[in-house]
Structure 1
Amino acid sequence: MLLYIKGKTNGKFLVNSVLNGPFQYGTIVEPGTETTLAAVRAQTYIDLTDEEKLRELVDITETNIVLQGLPQDIYNLVNHNQDAKQIWDRVKLFIQGSELSFQERESKLYDDFDTFTSMPRETIHSYYM
């Protein structure tokens, strides 16, 4: 999925959003005058530079790309998350869990194979029935 994301417009920002989280607004220090003190306030969209506005737009795009690339069962589990990094981290956990269950299933199949015995002319269907 990361390779697909890198090929999109603004791919560098998209991958950064997935791996490091969304763009965070900062604070702005407004200088004081002779009669007022300097004030610190939260940054707003109007205060952002063009690059920062692009990064915020990329965060929304990235979340949509990641959600669209998921199977329906995983999508249902992670669609309530707000940013691509949270979704990406949750999906990685689900995939790690599925790898473990795959190894467990493979081990069980080997155990079943070791204990498998059949009688002459017995079919597999009749063995399991």
Structure 2
Amino acid sequence: MTTLADKEILLGADNRPPMLKKDMYDSWKSIMELYMMNRQHGRTILEFVEKGPLIWPTIEENRVTRPKKYSKLSATEVIQADCDIKATNIILQGLPPEVYSLVSNHKVAKELWEKIQLFMQGTSLTK
């Protein structure tokens, strides 16, 4: 028998990511990965969670190298920049207040993901 949660995943209910519960980290992680994959450009979003942040493109002007402005990024670079931010946002939305307050200072999805795992395993977050 299919549960309501199963139907929501299959039908693409995407109004909010699943909320992390103390004793359910492994299932939350799996559902979060599915949730991310179900978003537009989901593979790219999940890639930032697993491999790390976007290396922001640079440009050289007058022999000075600086980051490209968002408005000057290529279409592909815009998607990547947006997915990098979406990854962090999705993770933060799935956290209860007591976990959010401990990890919200991390703005890189991969670091955030790893800190949550450490917290759920009972490891100190101050490392």
TM-score by length of 2: 0.63
Q: Highest Rg: 1 or 2?
A: 1
1:10 and 2:34 are equivalent in the alignment: no
1:39 and 2:48 are equivalent in the alignment: no
- 1:32-69 CA distance string (max 9 Å, x none): xxxxxx72512312442111111111111111110011
State the partner residue of 1:22. 53
Counterpart CA distance in 2 for 1:63 and 1:50 is: 21
Indicate the structure whose relative CO is greater, using CA pairs within 8 Å and at least 6 residues apart: 2
Higher helix share: 1
One-letter amino acid of the structure 1 residue matched with residue 53 of structure 2: P
Please list every run of at least 4 consecutive aligned residues from structure 1 whose deviation after the TM superposition is greater than 6 angstroms.
Answer: none
SS of residue matched to 1:51? helix
Aligned residues: 91
TM-score by length of 1: 0.62
Contact 1:22/1:85 (8 A) holds in 2: yes
Structure 2 residue runs without a partner (length 5+): 1-31
Counterpart CA distance in 1 for 2:57 and 2:36 is: 27
Structure 1 residue runs without a partner (length 5+): 31-37, 99-129
Q: CA RMSD in A?
A: 1.9
User: How much identity, in percent, do the aligned residues show?
Assistant: 37
